[in-house]
Structure 1
Amino acid sequence: MFEITDTQKIGVGLAGFGISFLFLGVLLLFDKGLLAIGNLLFISGLACVIGPWRTLNFFFQRHKIKASASFLGGVFVVLMGWPLVGMILETYGFVLLFSGFLPVAINFLRRVPILGTLLNMPGISRVLDIIAGDSNRTTV
């Protein structure tokens, strides 16, 4: 196994709070204060979990520059006071940045006991197969 440091534990907490603030900001009709705090907490949590240099390397890879520009530009637009436009940019950048991780996350969530039952229902499963790009999936 590998050991999780205290900095990584703090990073998971920061990222969790960031996602919570982003969710509340969207739920409260794109409140720019909550969205700005959520963005800052999420990015700082990511930097604590994987380290600052790996975070910079992740965002500034040559093939991810369009996605990074969109995501970080969306964060900047939210901080400047245009929350709806910023969240659209961020969502586009987020999907492009983490599209490689999405199939892994979906397949992991399918193995979670209660959530897996819901995600393996016929209609939902078909949509997730399209998103994950795994049409020949075998269930264990």
Structure 2
Amino acid sequence: MATITELQKIGVGLMGFGLFFLLFGVLLYFDSVLLAFGNILFLAGLCFIIGIRRTAHFFFQRNKFRGTLFFLGGVTLVLFRWPVIGMLVESYGFVLLFRSFFPVAIGFVLSIVNLPFLSAFLPNSQSMV
């Protein structure tokens, strides 16, 4: 089992608060201050969890350049008080950045929670006998 350092614990807390502020900002009709604060906390938490060098390497890979451009452009738009357009652009960038991670996450969740009706829609899942 991997050990978790104190900086990683701080990073998880920062990401948690960042997601809370993002959700709260959306619930309060796209409040730009809460969304900007949530974005900054989320990115700081990511840097604390995986490190600054790995974060930079993740965002600035050649095949993820378009996703990075949209994600950081959306963060910039939110910071410049265009919250609705910024969150749409940021969401598109998030999907582009993490699209290779989504099948892994879905497979992990489905391995923990066995939902029979979902097995009909997924090509790699086993059918119930």
Q: Deviations 1:32-85 (Å, cap 9, x if unpaired)?
A: 111001000000000000000000000000110000000000000000000000
Question: CA 1:139–1:59 in 2, change beyond 3 Å: closer, same or farther?
Answer: farther
Question: Number of paired residues?
Answer: 128
* Matched-pair identity in %: 52
User: TM (normalized to structure 2)?
Assistant: 0.91
Q: Deviations 1:93-121 (Å, cap 9, x if unpaired)?
A: 00010111111111222244xxx25xx25
Matching residue of 2:30:
30
Q: Secondary structure at the match of 1:12?
A: helix
Within 5 Å, give how 1:42-53 maps onto structure 2: 42-53=42-53
Matching residue of 2:6:
6
| Separation (CA, whole Å) in 1 of partners of 2:43 and 2:25 | 16
Given residue 7 of structure 2, which amino acid in structure 1 is its aligned partner?
T
Matching residue of 1:66:
66
User: TM (normalized to structure 1)?
Assistant: 0.84
Q: Is 1:87 matched with 2:75? A: no
Within 5 Å, give how 1:52-131 maps onto structure 2: 52-112=52-112, 116=113, 120=115, 122=117, 125=118, 129=121
Runs of 4+ in 1 over 6 A off after TM superposition: none
Q: Is 1:135 matched with 2:103? A: no
Could you list the runs of 5+ residues in structure 1 that have no partner in the other structure?
none
| Separation (CA, whole Å) in 2 of partners of 1:111 and 1:94 | 24
| Separation (CA, whole Å) in 1 of partners of 2:79 and 2:20 | 17
Greater RCO, 1 or 2 (C-alpha within 8 Å, sep 6+) = 2
Question: CA 1:126–1:2 in 2, change beyond 3 Å: closer, same or farther?
Answer: closer
